[in-house]
A and B are shown apart, each in its own frame.
Chain A
Amino acid sequence: DQQVKQNSPSLSVQEGRISILNCDYTNSMFDYFLWYKKYPAEGPTFLISISSIKDKNEDGRFTVFLNKSAKHLSLHIVPSQPGDSAVYFCAAKGSGAGSYQLTFGKGTKLSVIP
């Protein structure tokens, strides 16, 4: 039973355009959400996060939107660059017992075409 779902295994975007990666979750106890970026043969690196008390968080070219009622979040990358090509994981944490555990989606492989 997957609690964090990334339904698009892959996404191709032209350089300079917007990349939108989507994530859905089912556990209403989650209240902190993170995006990690992973290059081959490297560990995931933290990209951006959002608390459930917010609906938007922005950091440079990266913006994460959270829709709590729909249990949906998305990562926007504008403008997309070839170096953004990687696998992006959505992850979630709760605030109760086990709040240190990250629950990950399966990932979306982003390819930015020059």
Chain B
Amino acid sequence: GAGVSQTPSNKVTEKGKYVELRCDPISGHTALYWYRQSLGQGPEFLIYFQGTGAADDSGLPNDRFFAVRPEGSVSTLKIQRTERGDSAVYLCASSLTASTLYNEQFFGPGTRLTVL
């Protein structure tokens, strides 16, 4: 069975440009999460979707970041006016549901974003 997939695997952009990062969760998983891993750090929570709605976007660093999941499956993380500090690996994870403590989150391979 397919795991979580993310595209592109690498993205190089220039400061000020707009980027979109895509995540395909495991089929049937209703919960989807985005994390960001900066160099030398662990992953940090950005946003969580239960179904189509963003249940918690408290981890988004500012209003340049936005994410959607219009049909409750694929999600896109959108970053406007990119800055060099946005350079990181963006990880997507999914779980069957988020309603219990013990739900395992399955991670994708990540998208490495480099802002020049």
Contacts and interface: CB of A to CB of B under 8 A. Distances in A.
B104 A46 contact: yes
A27 interface: no
Which of B40, B48, B58, B102 has most chain A Cβ within 10 Å?
B102
B12 to A, nearest CB: 16
A21 to B, nearest CB: 13
A102 interface: yes
Interface string A84-114: 0000010101010011111111110000000
A93 B101 contact: yes
Nearest to B42: A104
A31 B56 contact: no
B31 interface: yes
- Secondary structure at chain B's binding surface: helix, strand, loop or mixed? loop
A64 to B, nearest CB: 14
Instruction: Using C-beta atoms within 8 Å of the partner chain, give the interface range for chain A.
Output: 20 to 34
A101 B48 contact: yes
A95 B98 CA distance: 11
A106 B101 contact: no
Nearest to B50: A100
Contacts of B93: 43
B38 to A, nearest CB: 10
Given A36-B107, A46-B106, A89-B43, 13 more contacts: A6-B42, A43-B91, A43-B93, A43-B107, A43-B109, A44-B91, A100-B48, A101-B48, A101-B59, A102-B33, A102-B35, A103-B45, A105-B42
Interface of B: 4, 9, 31, 33, 35, 40-45, 48, 55-56, 58-59, 91, 93, 95, 98, 101-110
